[in-house]
Amino acid sequence: MSYRDMAVSVSDLNKYIKDKFTNDENLSQILVKGEISNFKNHYTGHMYFTLKDENSLIKCVCFKTYADKLTFMPKDGMKVIVLGSVSVFERDGIYQIYVKMMEEDGQGDLYTKYKELKDKLEKEGLFSEEHKKKIPLMPKIIGVLTSQTGSVIRDIINVSTRRNPNVYIRLLPVPVQGERSSRKNCRRNRTYERKELSRCNNFGTWRRFFRRFMAF
């Protein structure tokens, strides 16, 4: 076989590389922090920008579906934390972050409130070992408290069933944000425990996004 017969097309190469990215769990849901540059709010509603630090940069795109859910307007020079997946745009042969969520970086007032509450509960001894229950190694039923319409529940189902095909996921829809969400979540968690509907419960939201985390 000659080297000409061994050669692959550019399209085949880019497709092969994209498949490698797609099959990498570490790239399917990743948090990245950096500074926004070259921001463009396209007329279609999509957002295109570059995320950089002092040593490197990566292109990002936030499609309209997710851009409409942002609570602020990104701009150049803003430091942010983004959550999304890394994949290859086959046509141009470039890899980029497909952003699903974005939050301004920095602790701020919300983090301060979270830290104060955590310290208060810790002083009360609520995080002591005697209050902790052992998590089953391979639970048959996992209760999930999260939004029934978000992508979080799909990710939990995909990962859980891939690692334990025999597990049963029982969803109890709860609000993941809002002033009264924490009380509702407590009541519904107690319902799960009182009726023994699952062996262990999973509160589902995006990690490190404190506005979502505060509901739990």
**CA–CA distances in Å: residue 186 to residues 5, 57, 167, 199, 201:** 64, 42, 24, 17, 12
Confidence grade of residue 182 (pLDDT, cut at 50, 70, 90): low
Least confident of 8-12, 100-104, 146-150: 146-150
Measure the CA dihedral 143/181/103/21, to 10°.
20
Determine the pLDDT at residue 193: 66
Determine the pLDDT at residue 197: 56
Determine the pLDDT at residue 208: 46
Least confident of 30-34, 95-99, 132-136: 132-136
Q: What is the largest CA-CA distance in the chain?
A: 74
How much is the average pLDDT of 118-142? Answer: 81
Neighbours of 170 (CB within 10 A): 13
Please report how many Cα atoms fall inside a 13 Å half-sphere around the Cα of residue 179, on the Cβ side: 0
Q: What is the mean pLDDT of the chain?
A: 81
What's the whole-model pTM score?
Answer: 0.54
Determine the pLDDT at residue 114: 73
Q: Nearest-CA neighbor of 88 among 157, 12, 149, 147?
A: 12
How much is the average pLDDT of 118-140? Answer: 81
Confidence grade of residue 163 (pLDDT, cut at 50, 70, 90): confident
How much is the average pLDDT of 176-204? Answer: 63
pLDDT at 214 exceeding the cut of 60: no
**How do 57-62 and 94-104 pair as beta strands?**
parallel
Q: Which residue has the tokens 């290859």?
A: 88
Structural domains of the chain, ranges and CATH numbers in brackets: 3-104 (2.40.50.140), 136-213 (3.40.50)
Confidence grade of residue 211 (pLDDT, cut at 50, 70, 90): low
Determine the pLDDT at residue 152: 77
Query: What percent of the chain lies above the pLDDT cut of 90?
Result: 37
